[in-house]
A = this chain, B = another copy of it.
Amino acid sequence: MLTALRTEVLRANREIAARGLARFTFGNASGIDRAHGLVVIKPSGVAYDELTPEMLVAIDLDGQVIEGTLRPSSDLATHIALYRAFPNIGGIVHTHSRYATVWAQAGRDIPCLGTTHADHFHGAIPVTAPMSDHAVAGEYEANTAAAIATCFSALNPATMPAVLVRGHASFCWGESVAAALETASILEEVAEMAYHTIVLNAEAGPIADALLNRHYHRKHGPAATYGQP
């Protein structure tokens, strides 16, 4: 029953590598079938070009493997907890893409420095607070999702579809795994341009709210004018 979702998740995992968002096996994509409450995710440590649809693992929201013989991604518990925390998302992409990871390692939000950013993210892309040693030593992966959820207590995951986990890397999401992948790609480009902007001018600040809103709403929501009707 998960054939279409498996195909979509497989394509997103392969695209992670094809777009240069992850070296080696540093990344994973998942999708969820909300009707059946099942998550399809990459198996752990398998090279992107060796993946087949059957290798993907299907898990319910309690973490029980329903289909598949391989061990799921070691980040599975983060994915499941995010699907629980953000009930409207359909896909998650986690990568160690270079510049998004740099911002996560630097422990800084990515400010909205230009319209490329504003076209896709409604404001600064946040970095999570440090996790306690206790949280790290305990249910680390689930606690990572908890740190993200805390970070989003005043943010809307629909208009801010990405987060930087401090000292780690990014998680992106969207209505589908394909949308999450597109966000991961754009995040990396935005992160790289923001990095160079701050290096060039440490005083560079965010664009005006008027400009942020104008660009964001050209592409998103009922008044969008971008693309074809």
A interface residues with partner B (beta carbon < 8 Å): 23-24, 26, 43-46, 70-71, 74, 96, 98-99, 101-108, 113-116, 119, 130-131, 133, 136-137, 140, 167-169, 182, 185-186, 189, 192-201, 204, 207-211, 214, 218, 225-229
Contacts and interface: CB of A to CB of B under 8 A. Distances in A.
A227 B116 CA distance: 37
27 contacts: A23-B185, A23-B186, A24-B186, A43-B228, A44-B226, A45-B226, A45-B228, A70-B228, A74-B225, A98-B192, A102-B193, A102-B197, A104-B114, A105-B193, A105-B197, A106-B201, A107-B204, A113-B167, A114-B168, A114-B169, A115-B167, A115-B169, A130-B208, A133-B210, A136-B210, A195-B196, A195-B200
- Please tell me how many copies of the chain the complex holds: 4
Given A214-B136, A228-B43, A107 B201 contact: yes
Contacts of A108: 200-201
Given A71-B229, A98-B189, A105-B193, 18 more contacts: A24-B182, A44-B225, A44-B227, A46-B228, A71-B225, A74-B225, A101-B193, A102-B196, A102-B197, A104-B114, A108-B201, A113-B167, A114-B169, A115-B167, A136-B210, A136-B211, A167-B208, A167-B211
Nearest to A208: B133
